[in-house]
Amino acid sequence: MKTKLITIFFVFFVLVGANANAFEYVGPGKITYLENGWFGEGVALHLDKGTSGCPAMDIDFGIPSDHPSFKEMTALATSAFLASANVELVVDVGNCVFGSRTKILAIRLLK
């Protein structure tokens, strides 16, 4: 009985731990498309690199307007798009925002 209980706790903590840090780095790549969101407040963008996890295309990402760094990330995304600069996205894999896009947590502008 004790062994079964330990096994159940082990499996539970492994599964919970696997979902605790579901962020991923995508890129480096270039932003190829930038628009306001059609299915909610925010900004949608396409990167020439992708990840899976949401029903939208793997290159489709979103920044919801309630993100604490919305203005800063929008400015970085616009600057990178206009300059054709490389960026790296930090995304929340499986967390889908307006239009079923993968949620962006942070943007890194690369030189």
What is the reported pLDDT for 68?
94
Per-domain boundaries in the chain: 23-109
Name the CATH topology of 23-109: OB fold (Dihydrolipoamide Acetyltransferase, E2P) (2.40.50)
72 beta partners: none
Burial class (CB in 10 A: 0-12, 13-18, 19+), 73: buried
Q: Which of 10, 70, 11, 72 is nearest to 37 (CA)?
A: 70
| Total residues found in the chain within this entry | 111
Cis omega (within 30 of 0) for bond into 28: yes
Averaged pLDDT score across all residues of the chain: 83
Instruction: Determine which of 34-38, 44-48, 57-61, 90-94 has the lowest per-residue pLDDT on average.
Output: 34-38
Q: Which of 52, 33, 35, 49 is nearest to 100 (CA)?
A: 52
pLDDT (tens digit per residue) in 53-84 = 899 999 999 999 999 999 999 999 999 999 99
